[in-house]
Amino acid sequence: MVRASPAAGNPGGIIRRVSHTAHRGEAPRTTRCAVVTVSDTRTEETDRGGGAIVELLAQAGQDVAGKTIVPDDPERIRAAVQAGMGAPEVDVVITTGGTGITRRDGTYEVVSALLDKRIDGFGELFRALSYQEIGPAAMLSRACAGLAAGTIVISLPGSENAVRLAMTKLILPELGHMVREARR
């Protein structure tokens, strides 16, 4: 606890500082996630990125509320993400695929347009971690995250290695904390 001057607009003169550690302690242990794979070519059998997300969520004790594959078409991507956002049983929507810069990659544009609040640090940290593994090609990823209509939305590349990196180093360690903050 830190004392502050009562003249600072605080009649008791007390400021309480709550750390990220305390926030994590108040975070839900289990979150409910929807997974959306964006690909013109992947099937349930070949969707290694989406499969890795489901596997890692389950290993971490998180609930997978649903998984779908949609083509890299803006309207289909938007509909799938919004379906997750609108479902009461979903706290988080995680997409994989469509975050590059090819003509068909449209996930970033769709998700960015839906976000009310961006979590800019997510994309920055993801690219920094990716750089350590793949070098300058990491700059081509447009992975992003934010809050849309009270739901955390995270967009990852389609590569299984990129998915595993983001899930283990960034998403799973902070998932409950993000959901806690989104609910406040």
- Decide if 94 contacts 162 (C-beta within 8 A): no
What residues have CB less than 8 Å from 132, skipping those under 6 apart? Answer: none
Return the pLDDT at 26: 72
Q: Is residue 53 one of the residues assigned to a domain?
A: yes
Q: Is residue 158 one of the residues assigned to a domain?
A: yes
Q: Is residue 13 one of the residues assigned to a domain?
A: no
Number of domains in the chain: 1
Q: Is residue 3 one of the residues assigned to a domain?
A: no
Position of tokens 């544009």?
A: 109
Q: Is residue 10 one of the residues assigned to a domain?
A: no
Q: Which residues of 65-93 are buried (b: 16+ CB within 10 A; e: fewer)?
A: bbbbbbebeeebbbebbbebbeeeebbbb
- CATH number of the domain within which 162 lies: 3.40.980.10
Environment class of 97 (CB within 10 Å of its CB; exposed 0-12, middle 13-18, buried 19+): buried
Return the pLDDT at 145: 98
Q: Is residue 154 one of the residues assigned to a domain?
A: yes
pTM of the full predicted structure?
Answer: 0.87
Element (DSSP H or E) covering residue 51: helix 48-59
Residues of the domain holding 73 = 28-183
From first to last of its 184 residues, the chain has per-residue pLDDT tens of 343 444 445 455 554 555 666 666 677 789 999 999 999 999 999 999 999 999 999 999 999 999 999 999 999 999 999 999 999 999 999 999 999 999 999 999 999 999 999 999 999 999 999 999 999 999 999 999 999 999 999 999 999 999 999 999 999 999 999 999 999 9
Q: Is residue 47 one of the residues assigned to a domain?
A: yes
Q: Is residue 174 one of the residues assigned to a domain?
A: yes
Q: Give one word for 150, left, alpha or beta, with left for phi > 0 and alpha for psi -120 to 50.
A: left
